[in-house]
Structure 1
Amino acid sequence: MIKSVISSKKFKAIILVFSCLLSLSFVSVLHAEEVKAEDQKVETPTWKSNVELGYVSSSGNSETTSINGAFGATYEVDVWKHAISLKSLFSAATDADTNEDKTSAERYTFQAKTDYKFSADGYAFAVVDYDDDRFSDNDYQTSLALGRGFKFALSETSNLDLEIGLGYRQTKKKAFVIETELSPGVPVFTIFPEEKINETIVRLAANYTADITEHSKFEQKFSVESGEENTVSKSYSGLSVNIAENLALKVSLTATHQSDVREGTEALDTITAVTVVFNF
């Protein structure tokens, strides 16, 4: 108990110091930025969007169906940039004994993000994340974070964005029961009640993009949202190759790790996907 209280005080102290440093960073930008925001305006509003779709079906000794899709859109006007992303995954298999279809994976994620340019290499951001994995111990997990971003042009064909910020996260845990055996024929039931966990978080993120060739692109995203109860780490790696003017083939790997999960739940989830991308 004492150790928990000490840990809580340390985390709150870190949050306080971090808030002060972040506030000073914004003040320094507002008062010392040489490049005016007006110089970074996008004169003509631009809109970009894409749809991804992947499908796998097998039959014979095992019958499975997997569908994954995604939609993304970006809109830039003046010194503002708005982006949304929606992803879904569904997988089902046919039970050989009952011949009934059983869902084995179902997940939906959503992100909305707004950037405000201070200069050519600096911006403020606000981001909202929502994750609904039907086969995790969470009913849902959602977060909101505000902070500052830094842009780095590593070369003519590669760029790196780094972000740091503060936010708030709510996690709703499902109520469920796990059955184990204390000894042969003696079952033991562990009951996990439904609960909501609300916590302040520190968010760190990085986004790297590189044009490998004229027709291929690599993207790596990584984010960490650390709170007093749980740390959520997300990684996304994607390689896309254009096969037509507005059509591309993409291979991607998505990984999500939760530091605090209940018994019987895996801490790491990964999704490997091959999708067709329609750009418009």
Structure 2
Amino acid sequence: MLKTVFIVFGLLCSPAAFALVPPDYQEPPSDLTAEIEAGFQLNTGNTESSSFNGRTKLVYDTTQTRQEGTVKAYFAADNEKTTAEKYDLQLQSNYKISGGYFFGRGDFTWDQFGSYTRISTVSGGYGFDAVSTSKTNLSLEIGPGYRYNLPIATDDAPIPEANKDLILRTAAKFEMKLQEYTSLNADLTAETGEDNNTLTLDMSYKNTLFQDWAFKIGVNVKYTEVVPEGSKQTDTITTFNLLYTFQ
């Protein structure tokens, strides 16, 4: 019996056994990528407080299509009450063609303390990579859409009436790898409508700490031209998060 154990152990430790799984073996790349992050946030604008936030992003990228979904949650409270509660859902589907892609997109926001408590935007159009290198990528998108805005209740309008508007959406998505372990992302989106215009800048700086863990600083600035009385036109959210990537 003891002799048999030594024989099996010797076979497992032989070079032929190690050749089955090379030391530098890596799993083949997956079409699915997921990011989960959470951390501290600082709000200024219509809400001023500090608390925690979370974000989950899923991307399924193949040779023909790209599906992307992002969920964001923001929550803050002081000693007396909740001061911020906001949820964002972003969905986009791209169909790739030679030289670019066609896309369909939906943006949905529930913001209890924002100038608009419900925002729904559905759009579609065409996008392409204006710059595409190993370190830098710039994508441009344009297309028509439809936007639904429900203003926050005020003393003058306790039961607000929703605004419904046809819009033209334009977007620029910029990604740059600064160094081996650092990267910069910036998305600029403009929605132009007959009744209202918005401009949103979403920037983030990511520094990989080790393997799939990274530290991320994010800034989201949104300007709304027409807001209810007593609301500010600009909302800013600054986040400091720990991010984990599944690949």
Q: Into which bin does the TM-score normalised by the smaller protein fall?
A: 0.7 to 0.9
Percent of pairs identical after alignment? 27
Aligned to 2:75: 90
- Give the Cα–Cα distance (whole angstroms) in 2 for the partners of residues 237 and 118 of structure 1: 28
Q: Are 1:103 and 2:82 counterparts?
A: yes
The 1:225–1:106 alpha-carbon spacing in structure 2 relative to 1, beyond 3 Å, is same
User: What is the SS of the residue equivalent to 2:219?
Assistant: strand
User: What is the SS of the residue equivalent to 2:31?
Assistant: strand
Identify, as 1 or 2, the structure richer in helix.
1
Q: 1:222-241 alignment to 2 at 5 Å? A: 222-241=188-207
Q: Are 1:152 and 2:130 counterparts?
A: yes
User: What is the SS of the residue equivalent to 2:103?
Assistant: strand
Aligned to 1:274: 240
TM-score (norm 1): 0.72
5+ long unaligned stretches in structure 1: 1-43, 58-63, 95-100, 178-189
TM-score (norm 2): 0.81
Aligned to 1:250: 216
Contact 2:41–2:240 (CA under 8 A) maintained in structure 1: no
The 1:169–1:191 alpha-carbon spacing in structure 2 relative to 1, beyond 3 Å, is closer
- Give the Cα–Cα distance (whole angstroms) in 2 for the partners of residues 55 and 237 of structure 1: 16
Per the TM alignment, residue 176 of structure 1 is displaced from its structure 2 partner at its CA by 2.4
- Aligned residues, how many? 212
Deviation string 1:149-191 (CA, Å, 9 cap, x unpaired) is 01023543101000110011111223321xxxxxxxxxxxx34
Letter in 1 for 2:84: A
The 1:102–1:251 alpha-carbon spacing in structure 2 relative to 1, beyond 3 Å, is same
User: What is the SS of the residue equivalent to 2:62?
Assistant: strand
Q: Are 1:112 and 2:91 counterparts?
A: yes
Aligned to 1:203: 169
Per the TM alignment, residue 105 of structure 1 is displaced from its structure 2 partner at its CA by 1.3
Alpha-carbon RMSD across the aligned residues, in angstroms, is: 1.8
Larger radius of gyration: 2
Return structure 1 stretches of 4+ with deviation > 2 angstroms.
Answer: 152-156, 173-176, 190-193
Aligned with 1:136 (options 114, 124, 128): 114
- Give the Cα–Cα distance (whole angstroms) in 1 for the partners of residues 30 and 62 of structure 2: 5
5+ long unaligned stretches in structure 2: 1-28, 43-48
Q: Are 1:217 and 2:183 counterparts?
A: yes
- Give the Cα–Cα distance (whole angstroms) in 2 for the partners of residues 102 and 147 of structure 1: 42
Contact 1:85–1:112 (CA under 8 A) maintained in structure 2: yes
Which one scores higher on RCO, CA 8 angstroms, separation ≥ 6?
A: 2
